[in-house]
Amino acid sequence: MKKKFYLKKISLLTACAMTLSVLSGCGAEPAPAEDTSAAAKEASSDSSSAASQSSSETAASSETTDSSEATASLEAVTITAWHDNDEAMMNALADVVNQTLEGENITLKFEKKSDVTGQIRLYGTDAANGPDMYLFAHDSLGGFAEMGILEPVENLIDPQKEADLLPMTLEAATYKDVQYLMPVYYETLLFMYNKALWEGDIPSTTEELYDYMEAHTDANAGTYALVNQHSTSYNVAPFINGFGGYIIDKDANPGLDTQEMKDAIVYNSKFATLQADGDYNTVTTLFNEGHAAAIIGGPWLISGIRDAGIDLGIKSLSDFTLPNGNALAPYSGVQCLGVLKYAAESKKDAITRVLEVLAEPSVGITLAQGFNCAPANSKAYEDPQVAENEMILAMEKTAQTAVPMPNIPEMGVMWGPAEGLLAAVNKSGENVDEAASKYQQEALTAIADMQ
Amino acid sequence: MKKTTKSNAWLYCLPAFILIGVIVLFPILYTGYISFTNMNLYHWQDFTFVGADNYIRALGKVDSGFLSALATTLLWTGVNMVLDVAIAYLLAVGLNTEGLRAKRIYKTLLVFPWAMPAYVSILVWRVGMFNTEFGLLNRLLTTLGFDKMDFLSKNTPAFLSCMALNLWMSLPYMIVMIDGGLQSIDRSMYESAILDGAGPWQKNWYITIPSLKKIMAPIVIMTTFTMFKQFDILYLLTMQKGAVSGSTLQTIITYAHQNAFVSNNYGLSSAVSMVIFVIIIAFSLWTNRAAKAERSEQ
């Protein structure tokens, strides 16, 4: 009887403990012991009030100077940035910033996350669990700006510090006339070829290129002259832009059924028949294993190509002329840092210093030398090693005709219909007019569904 | 029952109730709440109550595309279930044949697909089986002198390809369940049947299948739901971003995903989710009722 009584008590206690442990997760996060945020906030408000007494230009520079002094006297501040890039590259970027800011007790730390945009959407208002900044391509900007989770970079850094940034990168970082992002480097598509497999000179027109492909492709034997992700809109953009078409315009009107778009798709489909499946893994494997002599791709392919021991040649896509006389014009994707609003409120001065360092040429030089990234800072190209880098020179040249990916929120829902249209024509053999009309309707519905 | 005993019973169950509430009930209720708001990119933090607007829009999506997706879903569920049960039954019976050597090895090998994460299995099949350049099927075709074939670019071959993968992934579970059921059948029934002159067909039809029915009913119902709300196989094989195959196969879940979830309109997608939730609950009630009716007939 006594034993039964004890068992009962123990069971009740266990049940209570389990209940408490289940509920414990619902508790509020304890305040961090090292409350640098409040101090930083105070410092930043001091510096802002001091700055507001002067004229606008002087104000900006005095604010930066004051904030530097204030930050130096503060406790250590760590700025966390999420990314989904090559970790070695991000570590090199962090090293440049951290070495420069060594005496100011500011540390930049990168954390790799999959699906960064999805994660930012989830944690963009969560100061306790979210990052302070993120690094990602600029095309997601519009959505985040509309969500109201980003602090405009122009509120944090003196415009003079950004004077050397390429105008194309600043344009990409701007949404509705407000500069929200800090450009770091940009990427664009290139014509990359295996010098050991390509016969003769690289053509200068797309028609000559097609003739070469016809003569050097044997699909059943699995050998190709050129491979491309022919049903991915980013990879077909050089044709679309070259024909004067567009996926979506600045006013959020989809252009999948415009005549220029249809002409570009039909022209691209001619090449697609000689370019294998078009899936990313397939085309990169074909090129890296020596089954394809050339590939249309970006700098992200370089490490795999190097590992494969390929003697790589590079040509800018803007060196190829379409039958209409225009050059191929790929999209450019500018990798930018965005600052979350809550971080700008609590760590303003430290973030400003990080942004200032990122705007310097040294960051671009490091990324260019070590990772073939095309810097956003034009001064970085004066470095002798950068000036000799074939890939970066090709990207710099392409940047003159490249079109920044649209950064309006509606672009986010356009990738699906655009890719569906390309696959319908290239893979399922659907009529371009019918498919264009169907996917234009799908795009319009998707845009309407956003509201 | 004494009052204290009754309250103690509730107390013992409280942790489980709280867990169920947090993990199961809360997300459903919160989705229901969001479905009545205009939460989207443009109203991320300042969303307001919009009444049944999202439901009117969600039901507006019940167009020809939705009906076609519903028909595909029913066909997918029906064909997969029939083949899944039939093939698993044959294999399980085969594995229980008396005198069969190395039974355990066969059983382990058959369970292997189940042990692999679904995402990995699907991508392995996409590249290793269906890919035009590196896939086993195309290697066989070109070796035999045929042209390469894109198995996922058109609806019928894509449906069959997805079905083959689905069966590969789902058969182990069904085989294990049927195998377990077969072990529980009293051997003396077969011995009596043999004495009465029954052959293999009669033994299966009059002993094995009726004995398995009760064990199989909940498994079949659960698997039917899994098939009905299948998303990953169809999505990853034919419509993953960057690898769209060209086929336009849609089930109601992929259709809902394409039409509501990519838009970042959480109000609308929550309403679509609630509509699908109601459809699945109705389907569940109907199957439970059918199973109950069959049990009472017996």
Average pLDDT over residues B111-132: 90
Lowest mean pLDDT among A53-57, A172-176, A285-289: A53-57
Question: What residues of chain B have any CB closer than 8 angstroms to a CB in chain A?
Answer: 8, 11-12, 14-15, 18-19, 22, 40-42, 44-45, 57, 127, 131-134, 142, 147-148, 150, 153-154, 241-248, 258-260, 262-265, 268
Return the biggest CA–CA distance within chain A.
98
Q: How confident is the model at residue A42 (pLDDT cuts 50, 70, 90)?
A: very low
With cut-offs at 50, 70 and 90, classify the pLDDT of residue B109: confident
Report pLDDT digits (tens) over A393-433.
Answer: 898 888 888 888 999 999 988 988 999 999 999 999 899 99
pLDDT, one tens digit per residue, over A166-176 is: 888 999 999 99
- Does the CB of A301 have a partner CB in chain B at under 8 Å? no
Q: Which of A23-27, A84-88, A176-180, B76-80 has the lowest mean pLDDT?
A: A23-27
pLDDT at B97 over 90: no
Read off the pLDDT of residues B182-233 as tens digits, 9 standing for 90 and up.
888 888 888 898 888 888 888 888 899 888 888 888 888 888 888 888 889 9
Q: Are residues A319 and A296 in contact, defined by beta-carbon separation less than 8 angstroms?
A: no
State mean pLDDT over A141-169.
90
Token pair, residue B216, equals 């199989």
**A279 at B interface, C-beta within 8 A:** yes
- Does position B99 have pLDDT exceeding 70, yes or no? yes
How large is the average pLDDT for residues A211-229? 93
* Per-residue pLDDT band at A35 (split at 50, 70, 90): very low
Residues of B in contact with A280 (CB under 8 A): 242-243
Nearest by Cα to B40 from B258, B264, B269: B264
Rounded Cα–Cα distance for residues A295 and A390 (Å): 16
Identify which has the larger pLDDT, A277 or B152: B152
Query: How far are the Cα atoms of A135, A183, A416 from residue A89, in angstroms, in the given order?
Result: 12, 16, 30
Q: Which of A328-337, A437-446, B31-40, B103-112 has the lowest mean pLDDT?
A: B103-112
Chain centroid to Cα A386, Å, comes to 21
Interval B154-177 mean pLDDT: 93
The amino acid at residue A197 is: L
Q: Which residues pair with A82 in a beta bridge?
A: A111, A134
CA dist A101 and A256 (Å) reads 48
Does the pLDDT value for residue A58 go beyond 50?
no
Instruction: Provide the residue ranges of all domains of chain B, joining segments of one domain with +.
Output: 55-297
Which of A309, A315, A266 lies closest to A295 in space, CA to CA?
A: A315
DSSP string, B99-163: T-TTHHHHHHHHHHHHHS-HHHHHHHHIIIII-TTT-HHHHHHHHTTPPP--TTSSHHHHHHHHH
Q: Using alpha carbons only, give the angle A8, A9, A14 rounded to the nearest 5 degrees.
A: 100
- A404 - beta bridge partners? A332
* Cβ-based neighbour number of residue B256 at 10 Å: 21
Residue B255: the pLDDT is: 82
For residue A211, give both structure tokens.
Answer: 């003739």
Q: Which CATH class is domain B55-297?
A: mainly alpha
Q: How confident is the model at residue B46 (pLDDT cuts 50, 70, 90)?
A: confident
Mean of per-residue pLDDT scores for chain A? 84
A77-131 pLDDT, tens digit per residue, is 899 999 998 888 899 999 999 998 888 888 999 999 988 888 998 898 888 899 9
Residue at A83: amino acid letter = H
Per-residue pLDDT at A12 = 62
Q: Which of A233-242, A254-263, B64-73 has the lowest mean pLDDT?
A: B64-73
CA distances from A416 to A232, A381, A447, B246 (A): 9, 36, 12, 12
C-alpha dist (Å) from residue B132 to A224, A313, B264: 13, 27, 34
A157 exposed, middle or buried (CB, 10 Å; 0-12, 13-18, 19+)?
Answer: buried
Residue A19: predicted pLDDT: 60
CA A64 – CA A47 distance, rounded (Å): 8
Q: State the pLDDT confidence band at A65, using cuts at 50, 70 and 90.
A: very low
- B166 CA to chain A: closest CA distance, Å? 22
Nearest CA in chain B to A234: B242
Cα separation, A108 vs A78, whole angstroms: 6
- Of residues A16 and B273, more confidence is placed in B273
Question: Which candidate from A12, A281, A446 shows the least CB-CB separation from B8?
Answer: A12
Q: Which domains does chain A have, with CATH numbers?
A: 67-187+333-399 (3.40.190.10), 189-331+406-450 (3.40.190.10)
Question: Encoding tokens for residue A116?
Answer: 């960064």
* DSSP label of A110: E
Question: Is the distance from CB of A250 to CB of A408 less than 8 angstroms?
Answer: yes
Find chain A residues with C-beta within 8 A of B45's C-beta: 125, 147-148
